[in-house]
Amino acid sequence: MKIFEENESTVRSYCRSFPAVFQEARGVELIATDGQRYIDFLAGAGTLNYGHNHPFLKQALLEYIEQDGITHSLDLYTNAKEAFLETFNRFILKPRGMEDYLMQFTGPTGANAVEAALKLARKVTGRSNVLSFTNGFHGCSVGALSATGNQHHRGGAGIPLSHVSRMPYANYFGEQVNTIAMMEKLLDDPSSGIDKPAAAIVEVVQGEGGLNTASAEWMRKLENLCKKNGMLLIVDDIQAGCGRTGHFFSFEEMGIRPDIITLSKSLSGYGLPLAVVLMKKELDQWKAGEHNGTFRGNNHAFVTATASIEHFWSDDSFARSVRAKSRLLTERLNRIALRHGPHSLRVKGRGMMLGIACPDGEIAEEVCREAFRKGLIMETCGSNAEIVKCLCPLTITKDQLNTAMDILEESFAEVLNKHISTRSS
């Protein structure tokens, strides 16, 4: 570990929780240099929905490289981009009645896509304020960070984070409080102090913020509120998209049509950086090159993204398998929560974006540490990092899922039993 500690900035984070040097990865498994094998329930924080080095995607990439396919091309037209545009249109947009959305390739991170989405909304509406939500996470560049709730990340900005009004997310104050009605009143009142917003940016399932979920009804009401106030609805599907909830988009079947959608993380399918802003056609008011970037659209990522869409999204079978696995995962997590009922563990999330809320961050951290010792990599999320989060590749088999859940169950039992005996001694 010395080489990393001596040469890498203290800003490094995940590697502190999982102190191993990794060298190989296949499917749901990561293998360290000492030969130790780990089941990966971190999966690049939602970047590896199809697992590590999926053979079909790897083959497509190897063939493209072997033929001296273009690697870097700014935003020049390439056959790799052409194939992606065609495939994404054919298997993702068209079947969902979304063929009127255009694609803007931004710099390759999620934050890049969020920056572009916010800029576009402000440009189109001529307004600067944006609504974002409690516990929302949208990235760490300054514009995206303004919309992000987490104080630890916000503290790193070094300048005031502005032009965002924070609103309570669905059920933020519990089920009895209608947060849409609250927003409506604030927006209707010319003296509320909330400037008319350009947009509302929202995650349908909050990935980093604690696996909080918005219902279809809440999302529909938010869409109506946006329409009524001339605001654009931006769905940040960077973590919850690309199949994570059991559908390609997290908002599918909710009956909404966001004005702008951001995607990144699992879009390339292979862990290669790629981000896109999808926008309704009439919103495309950019001047050529107005939002720029050297690494917009990465050809290797286009190749694997195209392969992943052909392989997993040409029919509904993959999405159905994700929903079946979600039922199994929910069952296993509920079993853990019930077994330790007195500790008030609670299962949270939707689809394959699930976790267990612990009474505090200390317990969640200890559970993850114990799971790592037993060969399972998983992280925490939530306001106080109190949620143990399962974000495994969606390609995981039933047996692998059960093995991982056995480890998690043992880890919870050991940590909670230790807490009970410490308290009673």
Binding residues for ligand PLP, rule: CB under 6 A, are 45, 109-111, 114, 137-139, 203, 207-208, 236, 238-239, 264
What angle, rounded to 10 degrees, do the helices at 317-339 and 299-313 form?
A: 80
> Closest distance between ligand PLP and the C-beta of residue 275, in Å?
7
80 vs 111, beta carbon nearer ligand PLP: 111
Distances (CA, A) of 365 to 207, 377, 383, 402: 17, 12, 13, 22
111 vs 371, beta carbon nearer ligand PLP: 111
> Closest distance between ligand PLP and the C-beta of residue 62, in Å?
25
CA atoms within 13 A on the CB side of 373: 10
Cα separation, 201 vs 359, in Å, equals 29
> Closest distance between ligand PLP and the C-beta of residue 47, in Å?
8
298 vs 411, beta carbon nearer ligand PLP: 298
Distances (CA, A) of 152 to 140, 148, 373, 383: 11, 10, 27, 10
- 101: helix, strand or coil: strand
> Closest distance between ligand PLP and the C-beta of residue 332, in Å?
24
118 vs 367, beta carbon nearer ligand PLP: 118
225 vs 263, beta carbon nearer ligand PLP: 263
202 vs 319, beta carbon nearer ligand PLP: 202
Which residue is at the shortest CB distance from ligand PLP?
110
- Which of these, 101, 131, 139, 104, lies nearest to 120 by C-alpha position? 104
> Closest distance between ligand PLP and the C-beta of residue 148, in Å?
8
Which phi and psi angles does 171 have, rounded to 5°?
60, 20
111 vs 233, beta carbon nearer ligand PLP: 111
End-to-end CA distance of the chain: 37
> Closest distance between ligand PLP and the C-beta of residue 31, in Å?
25
Q: Are 232 and 199 in contact (CB under 8 A)?
A: yes
- Which of these, 78, 125, 55, lies nearest to 300 by C-alpha position? 78
> Closest distance between ligand PLP and the C-beta of residue 67, in Å?
29
